[in-house]
Structure 1
Amino acid sequence: RLLGPDQPFYGLQAKGLDGRSEPHTSVKEMAAHYIKEMRELQPEGPYLLGGRSSGGTIAFEMACQLAAEGEKVDLLALLDTYPAGYFKLLPGSSSLGQRLSRQARKFQSHLTNLRQLNATKKVGYLLNKLAYAPEKAKHKLYRRAYKIYQRLGRRLPPVLKNIEEINFTAVKDYTPQTYSGDITLFLATDLTADYDSYDGWRELVRGEIETYEIPGNHINIIKEPHVGALAEKLRSCINRVQENKSAVGLASS
């Protein structure tokens, strides 16, 4: 609605969300499925792709697969999306030293964030992190259960067909490839973002990285009142793509 009535916008539903079909359990499978569905509406590019959080990871993989097929992606908009698995491409990424180094950098980023806040906001920041601890524990339990069923080659039971948890596990297990095109990052400004977001994307993207800051946090940047700022910047990006396309058309005519 905020992008305007002249801008078509299509959402892709995860397989298995209907409770009947078997869900995909890897980012690559999800991306291939979404590309197939997208092509029913638009068989050929150029495409405008976007997604938030794990949806952004899937959109990134879609862009990689499309690029490998020779298709063009004019816009890849990633809304507060962490560069999942980027460190797996670095030398010695699984070594104890590298794991400890990543944890140390993460800890340092929290200290840096806390120094920028007053006493009241410091408490809120810490409470926000602590509140997420039970959720992280639940994610780990689901992930272990999925891996057991995958090793056994068995279908997931209904109790484990939680799309949110499946997506979380898929992103954790994702090993990305490098993308030859450009990306546009829309980053929340609440200081709770991952410490290595931009540097991680730089490892994965050979093209340009454009960044916009959106007021709010990871959850509410797509809700009022912050979604208005997001829509304004996204609309600006779409307009620029369309203007460039028109300019190319005029130059070739």
Structure 2
Amino acid sequence: MGGNSLLAVRLFAEIERKFAKQLRSQGQEVAFLALLDTCRPGYRQRLSFLQRISLHINHIVQRGPKYFYKKARGWSKQAKYQIEKVYKSYFQNFSQIIKTISKPSKTNKYLDISNTNTQALNNYVFQPYSGKATLLRTRDENRTESIGVKYDLQFGWGEIITGELDIKYIPGSHLSLLDEPNVKLLAKQIKICIEKAQN
């Protein structure tokens, strides 16, 4: 039988990669390590205003009304996602403030922990991983915010994965890859990758 198979969804990619590295250091095989549409911080860049206008005009000429419909649908999903994210964030922060106010003695401790977490995130240095990995990523043109954003082909993982980094394109956008019918196609792709890795 093959080794362990690990799949990270979005933000958990670094935790998964560290776990795989730990397994390998213990002599265990990691047959399949996959990063699911996960971009390392700093590996997307917003294009200039003129470049973005040029891209929009080009897409309007090529696709006509379909382009507007697709963008409107994407903007709608993105707006819903952002509103939910902001709502959850405000609710969590408000709850924490209420808890902190009701227990003033814990205020300094909470601020210390928050500052320590922020500092750790800012100072974090990604360590190399010498095994194989597969990046399952959506195409840039399917990413809701992709017009006007340039992504590194390997989403920044090429500098960290020192073994082989295989890139597989998956259907949908970052927000829809786990929705039907995209999730079925994604599951099929993952199954193929795992079977290939274990043989």
TM-score normalised by structure 2 residue count: 0.62
> Per-residue displacement from partner, 1:12-51 (whole Å, max 9, x unpaired)?
xxxxxxxxxxxxxxxxxxxxxxxxxxxxxxxxx8321112
Matched residue, 1:184: 134
Q: Does structure 2 conserve the Cα–Cα contact (< 8 Å) formed by 1:181 and 1:208?
A: yes
Identity of aligned residues (%): 28
> Per-residue displacement from partner, 1:136-186 (whole Å, max 9, x unpaired)?
68659969x7xx7555359xxxxxxxxxxx9xx8x9665421111111111
Query: What stretches of structure 2 of length at least 5 have no aligned partner?
Result: 97-107
TM-score normalised by structure 1 residue count: 0.51
CA distance in 2, matches of 1:235, 1:49: 12
Matched residue, 1:119: 68
Q: Does structure 2 conserve the Cα–Cα contact (< 8 Å) formed by 1:82 and 1:197?
A: no
Q: Does structure 2 conserve the Cα–Cα contact (< 8 Å) formed by 1:188 and 1:214?
A: yes
Relative distance call for 1:176 and 1:121 in structure 2 (3 A) is: same
Amino acid at match of 2:112: L
Matched residue, 1:230: 186
Of structures 1 and 2, the one scoring higher in RCO (CA 8 A, sep 6+) is: 2
Trace 1:57-72 onto structure 2 (pairs within 5 A).
Answer: 57-72=14-29
Relative distance call for 1:177 and 1:125 in structure 2 (3 A) is: same
> Per-residue displacement from partner, 1:62-96 (whole Å, max 9, x unpaired)?
1233334443311101111222x4x5xxxxxxxxx
Larger strand proportion, structure 1 or 2? Answer: 2
1:79 pairs with one of 36, 53, 56: 36
Give how far 1:210 is off: 1.1
Which secondary structure state, in structure 2, belongs to the residue aligned with residue 205 of structure 1? Answer: coil
CA distance in 1, matches of 2:25, 2:176: 34
Aligned residues: CA RMSD:
4.1
Trace 1:137-216 onto structure 2 (pairs within 5 A).
Answer: 139=89, 151-153=111-113, 175-189=125-139, 190-192=142-144, 195-196=151-152, 198-216=154-172
Q: Does structure 1 conserve the Cα–Cα contact (< 8 Å) formed by 2:38 and 2:155?
A: no
Which secondary structure state, in structure 2, belongs to the residue aligned with residue 233 of structure 1? Answer: helix
Give how far 1:129 is off: 4.4
Matched residue, 1:30: none
| Count of aligned positions | 167
Q: Does structure 1 conserve the Cα–Cα contact (< 8 Å) formed by 2:31 and 2:198?
A: no
Choose 73-82 or 214-223, whichever is displaced more.
214-223
Larger radius of gyration: 2
Matched residue, 2:9: 52
Relative distance call for 1:78 and 1:69 in structure 2 (3 A) is: same
Trace 1:93-132 onto structure 2 (pairs within 5 A).
Answer: 105-107=45-47, 111=52, 114=56, 115-116=58-59, 118-132=67-81
